[in-house]
Structure 1
């Protein structure tokens, strides 16, 4: 093998490694969703080192143990469990927050997403509907209602009505774009 062939081979290997790392990073960050899964926007959004996340969760668990009426600590703990894919613990933490503030549309919606992750679609739907009733401008809960009807309950007519209602309230947001995409994926109305 000559020197040029070796250099080209090493360069190809390095490029392949870098491309693989880039694709892997996109998948781990959630910007790529596994095929066939409909994503719902996440609670916290920021990627956290698993070690830092565990330490922060432990710290928040101590805070709520000492101060069980600390609404913000319960919400943050729920969000951290959400981000760590600990759905059952997130549901419980959000439940504690809702015991303090039962009319928090954001917490109801986040808990609903976790109910959905656990396969409790009726409970998820109830949370999303309550959040949207409390705050009719809460588009995230309305979008999530449509997702449950479309993906989980296989009720395309109700999903279509929900996504159309969202588009009547908003035409320009990212949720409006996602609602239009979901409408295109639904079977034609009969």
Structure 2
């Protein structure tokens, strides 16, 4: 994992979590549903990453709001005692969980400018752009995250659904899926990546790989 200098540590009182969103990635014989994920802390158990498989033509359920989230009534956290970068990221996460993408983007950009520039923040920022219908900007942030930390699974995994479902670039989606399988064969999400490749192999469709 690439080390980054002067990386601010997140406040001890905060726990990271993942915010799910279903994506359908259709390849050949089946439809695979995957969660768009954020990178959580090792003790993150509130919202596990789940992969499920739906028959062709099925429609996934809409994403559920964060547990306990009340967009209209909830007050933002008190960040007055946090370092500027941590405060900005905390507010970014708070807005992210409430699907307030423009404000989340604003705070994540501030966090990056103040020194919290790492693969986690870049991936979260990319997710916000994706939800706002700006896939190219999302892809840019995922790419930066991968350059910062090649061992960052989620930024690579999120590229797969972005290529497949949003950009409809199945060749690049398959390339990203194969890359994910090769680099993270033991990941719980590796099976979802395999489902993007197996239907093409079973049907005899030539792979996009040389």
Task: Give the TM-score normalised by the residue count of structure 1.
Answer: 0.69
The answer on 1:164 being equivalent to 2:178 is yes
Moved over 4 A (4+): 30-38, 42-46, 184-188
Is 1:113–2:127 an aligned residue pair?
A: yes
d(CA) in 1 for partners of 2:198, 2:191: 11
Distance in 2, Cα, partners of 1:159 & 1:183 = 9
Confirm or deny: 8 A CA contact 2:85 2:116 kept in the other structure: no
Judging changes above 3 Å, is the alpha-carbon distance between structure 1 residues 171 and 52 closer, same or farther for their aligned structure 2 residues? farther
The Cα shift of 1:71 comes to 1.3
SS at match of 1:59: coil
More strand by share: 2
| Correspondence for 1:59 among 78, 86, 99 | 78
Q: Is the 8 A contact 1:42 1:83 kept in 2?
A: no
Aligned residues: 155
Is the contact between residue 23 and residue 161 of structure 2 (CA under 8 Å) also seen in structure 1? no
The whole-number CA distance in structure 1 between the counterparts of 2:125 and 2:143 is: 12
Partner of 2:89: 75
1:119, distance to aligned residue in structure 2 (A): 0.5
2:103 partner SS? helix
Q: Are the counterparts in 2 of residues 128 and 145 from structure 1 also a CA contact under 8 Å?
A: yes
Determine the C-alpha separation between the residues in 2 that align with 1:104 and 1:31: 21
User: Would you tell me which structure has more helix in proportion to its own residues?
Assistant: 1
1:50 to 70, 73, 85: 70
Matches within 5 A, 1:103-142: 103-142=117-156
CA contact (8 A) 2:20 2:35 kept: no
TM-score, scaled relative to structure 2:
0.63
CA RMSD of aligned residues (A): 3.2
Whether contact under 8 Å (1:77, 1:93) holds in the other structure is yes
Task: Give the structure 1 partner of residue 112 of structure 2.
Answer: 98
